Structure formats: structure tokens, C-alpha cells
Amino acid sequence: KRGEPDEFRELAAKCEGEKFEADTAAASANKTENVKFFICTDKGESLLPALEKAAADLEKNDDMSADRKAELLTKIRAKIDELRARG
């Protein structure tokens, strides 16, 4: 969901389950592109399935630049790998 920084802070503060945040930013001569990614699970739910779905959905997303998307996918996949390694 596109939102403002205050919205993300509110979501993070209200999250009772597991949460994951990642961001990426890039500037060009014409604009700055900041992308913040946030997932909050319900209390007691695992973060792993939510991250796997988010990665699959993000791969299909064409609303952001390819380098921003690649950077976010790298961070999401690293967290997925970490969670799988923990069992």
C-alpha cells in the first residue's frame, strides 16, 4: 500500500504479530524515489508465508523502478532465508 511515513509508524506501533520492514531510496536529476515496505502478521502467525507471498507479488509489480524492486526483493529473500534457516 502506498502511504505516508506517519502511516507506517502507526502500523508498526500497532503490530501485535511479527513485523518486517525494508526500504530503498534512489535519487535522479528529476526526482527521488523512496520505497518503504512493511508487513505485519496477526498475533501468533508466522512471518514466513507473508514474506513469500509478498516476494511473489512484488515480482509481478511494475509500479516501481527495476533497481528499487530488485533491492527490496533481495532484502525480503534474505529474511525468508533467515527464517527458513531457523526452522
Q: How deeply is 72 buried, as exposed, middle or buried, from its count of CB atoms within 10 A (0-12, 13-18, 19+)?
A: buried
Whether the predicted pLDDT of 4 surpasses 90: no
- Segment 12-38 shows an average pLDDT of 81
pLDDT bucket at 5, cuts 50 / 70 / 90: low
Q: What is the pLDDT of residue 18?
A: 92
Is 79 within 8 Å of 51 (Cβ atoms)?
Answer: yes
Question: Average pLDDT, whole number, for the chain?
Answer: 86
Residue with cell 511515513: 5
pTM listed for this prediction:
0.80
